[in-house]
Amino acid sequence: MEYNKNNLTKAKNLRSNMTDAESIIWYYVRAKRFLGLKFKRQVLIGEYIVDFLCPEKMLIVEIDGGQHNEIKNVEYDTKRTNYLESNGYKVVRYWNNEVLLNIQSVLDDLKNKLDMK
């Protein structure tokens, strides 16, 4: 698959500049620390960059900030999720504050989602 160079550059920048919530999730899922599964971060899928991908389970994890509540972003996220799901991926979303305030609950939910895949 051929990728847009701008998106590759953007993905590299996102890897270097993760949010606090993304950094916390990455700490728990990198290096097969979570259920022995490999996760990748800031992965290009089509024209989209996803926060985290577990290729083995075809599961995408998105960590969302408050801007995802804005109408234009809700519409974009819906279109994006539909595209990803039409390509066989399952998308799960967590709010930044969920990750920052209750990481164990997020990890428990993620484990349940992975067990169902």
5 lies in some domain: yes
64 lies in some domain: yes
11 lies in some domain: yes
pTM reported for the whole predicted model: 0.84
9 lies in some domain: yes
49 lies in some domain: yes
85 lies in some domain: no
Q: What are the tokens at 64?
A: 């969302």
The domain tally of the chain equals 1
Domain residue limits at 2: 1-74+91-100
C-alpha span between 43 and 41 (Å, rounded): 6
Distances (CA, A) of 80 to 32, 47, 62, 74, 99: 27, 9, 11, 10, 22
3-state helix, strand, coil in the chain (%, to 5): 60, 20, 20
Please report, in tens digits, the pLDDT of each residue of the chain (117 residues total). Answer: 445 667 666 556 666 668 999 999 999 999 999 999 999 999 999 989 999 999 999 999 999 885 656 566 788 889 999 999 999 999 999 999 999 999 999 999 999 999 875
59 lies in some domain: yes
